[in-house]
Homo-oligomer: A and B are copies of this chain.
Amino acid sequence: MWMVGYNEGGEFNMADYAFNGRKLRPLMPRPGTSPNNTSSATTTPCLTRIHHGNDFFSQYHNLASVAEQGKREFMNAPPVVVSSRWNPTPEQLRALEELYMRGTRTPSAEQIQQITAQLRRFGKIEGKNVFYWFQNHKARERQKRRRQMESAAEGGHHPRDFDTTLEKKDLGTSRTVFEVEQTKNWVPSTNCSNLAEVYSLSFLCLCPWSRRLLTPFSFSTLGFIT
């Protein structure tokens, strides 16, 4: 798996995409099969009806067209593509769990980078995988604990009791671990990765070797702070 790859020079290695019969991982929205989307029949094709008005919007539309074109090119390739999601190797998993156990909850951008770099030794991995992993793991640990409390409570505590973020686990007798649920005020400063941070970085240096288009125009805007 994990046949998707780009080389340093900025060239897109299409061969890697023509693989087996798998779908491309959902960079694109999934077809309207979501139970929540009750309007799949009525969704509109969107950008197609932009009318050219003032300066800005016509410019914007032009640029959007470039993007569209790039997309089409991309989709003319064999409809096939590669596997989709990251699967941690046992080593990677162990490492992440170890970090979690030691208190890492919402690693900063740097931390994510370091972790990612380290774990790459063990196999494919991206920063986003680390990011998501911690996000999911944190959420699911919390939820697991909540459920445990629920069943343990039985007697009928108030629901808000489950909102506490620091909890002692003592379900069995052998359980002596304090699980500290980290909250945002855990570390004083610059230690949480967040979307904004991430965006700053990405917009600082959208590079030619990304899968994303880089129009001449947008390229000319690079080097600035966005």
Contact = CB atoms under 8 A, between A and B. Distances in A.
Interface of A: 4-6, 8, 27-34, 36-40, 42-47, 49-50, 56-57, 59-60, 63-64, 66-67, 70-71, 74-75, 95, 98-99, 102-104, 108-120, 125-128, 131-132, 163-166, 180-192, 194-207, 209-213, 215, 217-218, 221, 223-226
Contacts of A98: 57
Contact of A199 (B6, B50, B126, B196): B126
Given A38-B164, A210-B200, A212-B201, A56 B95 contact: yes
B28 A226 contact: no
Contact of A46 (B47, B95, B182, B206): B182
A71 B128 contact: no
A188 B47 CA distance: 11
B29 A186 contact: yes
A31 to B, nearest CB: 6
A114 B60 contact: yes
Nearest to A44: B180
Given A110-B70, A203-B113, A221-B120, A185 B40 contact: yes
